């Protein structure tokens, strides 16, 4: 059997089992074909049918979360944890609290997480989870009661050497704090069971900034490899959450002008550069909508109900940091028309398959999320190390380690791309490099 026919067979069987899980199928369909040339050199993977093993999670947990709202009404939400692959370490990956969270979403996120974690070079496997609970509009008391109920069941399945969750969309310091408190109540003080914790609970400095900073460090390395830098570059960022805010911060620090940010209601365009302090106040303090920006900066433009990727102004770099599938083929065409030369993903799978194909045709360097946004999980692993040693690190030390990790991720992706495809094909480089470490560990451990 050829590599191509084997991949097609695995995909066909997967679609028969999971036809309704469109995000999961999309993630696997984008991933497996990039391995074809690698499989040509490693025929034992085909002989042992290892692709069928790696696309199947080791464990999938689903449970209900009953909780009481402020009016005394009983509520219930559905929760998931996919413990996907532990070949190179305990399961590691975030929890997402968002109404769209379902089995397909956590499967796709968990599958991507395997290879993202592998690329960090740190001993962490892949997992993901969450709930269809929406923290927006909920009081702190309601969020606390939900988190306590969630953790009462969830704690049976996690531990510092088993599965170490973190935050994701809808799960920030407040939620992690409540989750950690309930775990401690039930199991005693075990700092390493969650990452992204508040600093007063042995969280790590620079964890909040890590995904956004790491994204920009990855781009910085890609530009440096091409004798260029971020200085004077015009950058478009989507989203206004944690990843977006700190990507904006680091890009501005390195000399770029960031023109946009957004939320689900619309986007802001500020030709003078985004006022990050104001964005932080709106989103982190007021917990309000991004349209409030124009109350202060009246020369800025607020475009309601549209994506930043409809922007007609010229720019150099696109940083999608909002959510999956925010860039379709039409949006990719607009990015190319704007003159962008780099698309680097701060979100997970924000680009559709057709959009990714369009980047290549238009000479845009595509930096996939599993490599470009790995800084968050990398610093989560560094938080685990600090917890194990019972020693906190300075912000500067963590940030220095993050820079090294992101540089190494870029190098391994670029070198692997050059070996198996071409230097600019960072998607193939990231996929193959991440896959290689995991699959070799699986082979060495036998059929488990």
Residue partners of 304: CB distance under 8 A and separation at least 6: 265, 266, 291
H or E segment at 13? Answer: helix 3-17
Torsion angle defined by CA atoms of residues 161, 165, 166 and 167, in that order, rounded to the nearest 10 degrees: 180
Asked whether the beta carbons of 268 and 290 are under 8 A apart, the reply is: yes
Q: Report how far residue 374's alpha carbon sits from residue 208's, in angstroms, rounded to the nearest whole number.
A: 13
Cα 63 from chain centroid (whole Å): 24
| Helix, strand, coil percent content, the chain, rounded in steps of 5 | 50, 15, 30
Give the dihedral of Cα atoms 105, 87, 192, 401; nearest 10 deg.
-90
Please give the angle made by the CA atoms of 362, 366 and 372, to the nearest 5 degrees. Answer: 165
Question: How would you class 100 by CB atoms within 10 Å of its CB: exposed for 0-12, middle for 13-18, buried for 19 or more?
Answer: middle
- Which parts of 55-189 fold into alpha helices (H)? 103-119, 140-154, 173-187
The owner of tokens 């979403």 is: 105
Alpha-carbon distance of 421 to 73, in angstroms, equals: 57
Question: Given 92, 128, 233, 370, which residue is catalytic?
Answer: 128
Rounded distance between C-alpha atoms, residue 78 and residue 254, angstroms = 42
Active site residue 423: no
Tokens of residue 131, six digits: 């709930």
Known catalytic residues? 128
């Amino acid at each position: 059997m050829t590599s191509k026919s084997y991949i097609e067979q695995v995909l066909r069987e997967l679609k028969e089992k999971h036809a309704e899980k469109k995000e999961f199928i999309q993630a696997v369909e984008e991933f497996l074909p990039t391995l074809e040339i690698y499989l040509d050199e490693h025929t034992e993977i085909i002989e042992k049918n290892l692709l069928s093993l790696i696309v199947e999670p080791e464990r999938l947990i689903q449970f209900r979360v009953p909780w009481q709202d402020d009016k005394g009404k009983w509520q219930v939400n559905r929760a998931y944890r996919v413990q996907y692959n532990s070949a190179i370490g305990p399961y590691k990956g975030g929890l997402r609290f968002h109404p769209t969270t379902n089995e397909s979403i956590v499967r796709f996120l968990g599958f991507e997480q395997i290879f993202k974690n592998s690329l960090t070079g740190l001993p962490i496997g892949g997992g993901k989870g969450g709930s269809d609970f929406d923290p927006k509009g909920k009081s702190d008391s309601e969020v606390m009661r939900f988190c306590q109920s969630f953790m009462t069941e969830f704690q049976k399945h996690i531990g510092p050497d088993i599965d170490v969750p973190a935050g994701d969309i809808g799960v920030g310091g407040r939620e992690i704090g409540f989750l950690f408190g309930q775990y401690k109540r039930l199991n005693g003080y075990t700092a390493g069971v969650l990452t992204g914790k508040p600093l007063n609970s042995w969280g790590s400095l620079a964890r909040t900034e890590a995904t956004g900073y790491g994204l920009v460090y990855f781009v910085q390395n890609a530009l440096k490899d091409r004798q260029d830098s971020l200085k004077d570059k015009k950058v478009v960022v989507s989203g206004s959450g944690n990843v977006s805010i700190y990507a904006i911060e680091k890009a501005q620090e390195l000399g770029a002008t960031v023109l946009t940010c957004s939320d689900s209601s619309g986007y802001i365009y500020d030709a003078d550069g985004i006022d990050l302090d104001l964005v932080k106040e709106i989103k982190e303090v007021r917990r309000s909508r991004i349209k409030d920006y124009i109350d202060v900066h009246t020369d800025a433009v607020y475009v309601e109900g549209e994506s930043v990727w409809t922007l007609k102004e010229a720019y150099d770099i696109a940083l999608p940091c909002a959510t999956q599938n925010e860039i379709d083929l039409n949006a990719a065409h607009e990015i190319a028309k704007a003159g962008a030369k780099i698309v680097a993903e701060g979100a997970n799978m924000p680009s559709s398959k057709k959009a990714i194909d369009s980047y290549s045709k238009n000479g845009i360097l595509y930096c996939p999320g599993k490599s470009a946004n790995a800084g968050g999980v990398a610093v989560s692993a560094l938080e685990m190390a600090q917890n194990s040693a019972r020693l906190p690190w300075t912000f500067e030390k963590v940030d220095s380690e993050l820079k090294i990790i992101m540089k190494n991720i870029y190098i391994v992706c670029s070198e692997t791309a050059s070996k198996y495809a071409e230097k600019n094909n960072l998607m193939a480089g990231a996929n193959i490099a991440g896959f290689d470490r995991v699959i070799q560990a699986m082979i060495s451990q036998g059929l488990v």
